[in-house]
Chain A
Amino acid sequence: MKTLGIEVNSKKVEWVKNETVDQLLKRMGYVFPLVVVKINEKVIPKNDFSKVIVPDKSKIAVIHMISGG
């Protein structure tokens, strides 16, 4: 079942049932490996990307860092 349900970096995106964070990142085409992900203001540790299921109607922030300093 699909709904027009979640927001990724303020973009409206379809919600897919039982989709993990890893799968969502792949679907979004976010190929950069280094990201911080927050779902509804909660930080998801990188080790949990393959376990955590994205809930419907959630707001997701994906932040990636570029080298340099």
Chain B
Amino acid sequence: MNKLKSEKIKKKLRNSSVGIAGVGGLGSNAAIALARAGIGQLIIVDFDKVEEGNLDRQYYFLDQVGKAKVDALKDNIKRIDPAVNVLVLNLKLDKGSMEKPFKNVDVIIEALDNAETKTEFVEEIMLKLPNKPIVAASGVAGYGHCDRIATKRCGNLYLCCDENAPSSDDDVLLAPRVALMANWEANLAIEIILGEDIGN
């Protein structure tokens, strides 16, 4: 292992922040990956409570059912690394002020569920915070087809997408594919923060 590179990455990540909109399947898994990678600060926003039906893909446990997702996720992150500064916002992102919690983060991760909210969020961030990198995901439902997933870049929007995937309104959401895309988003966020990995 290259010690110099590893120290440099550690330091840079510790001084960086990521904001996550929604901590369901995408957001909870992305947050855990970023915490393990050593991110300094996470701002997590959601208004939902943990339900038993979430446990097939979201990073929560049976004994957390009924708890606010943001609080449960903070607890889980603290069990991995208490040094991560987790700021929780137990609220619904409202159209017109969706960008507010994310003004000061280095990268925003869109991890919402339905297409309408996803679109509204991406549009609002691109309009109001045009210089802020935003990572979004589209086409999470179903299983298999790993290699249909690709990153599309459009200005400051980095979209992890499978254009041929079904909508979750008509199809299943399962842990492997959801976590794959969540980690894809986290990996993109890290790449944006650190710059492209060009070796040692």
Q: Which residues of A contact B (CB under 8 A)?
A: 34-36, 38, 41, 43, 45-46, 61, 63-69
Complex interface: chain A residues within 8 A of B167 (CB): 66-68
Report chain B residues within 8 Å CB of A36: 119, 122-123, 126, 157
In the complex, are the beta carbons of B122 and A68 less than 8 A apart? no
Q: Which residues on the A side are within 8 Å of B22 (C-beta)?
A: 69
**B residues near A, CB below 8 A?**
22, 24-27, 111-116, 118-119, 122-123, 126-127, 130, 136-141, 152, 154-155, 157, 159, 161-163, 165-169, 173, 178
The answer to whether A65 and B122 touch (CB under 8 A), given A34-B115, A41-B155, is yes
Q: Looking across the interface, which residue of chain A has its beta carbon closest to that of B142?
A: A68
Of the candidates B116, B140, B155, the one whose C-beta lies within 8 Å of that of A68 is B140
B27→A63 contact, CB < 8 A = no
Cβ–Cβ < 8 Å partners of B139 in chain A: 66, 68
User: Contact: B157 with A69, CB < 8 Å?
Assistant: no
Residue of B nearest to A34 (CB): B119
Q: Is the CB of A69 within 8 A of B119?
A: no
B170: nearest residue on chain A (CB-CB)? A67
Q: Which residues does chain A contribute within 8 Å of B111, judged by CB atoms?
A: 69
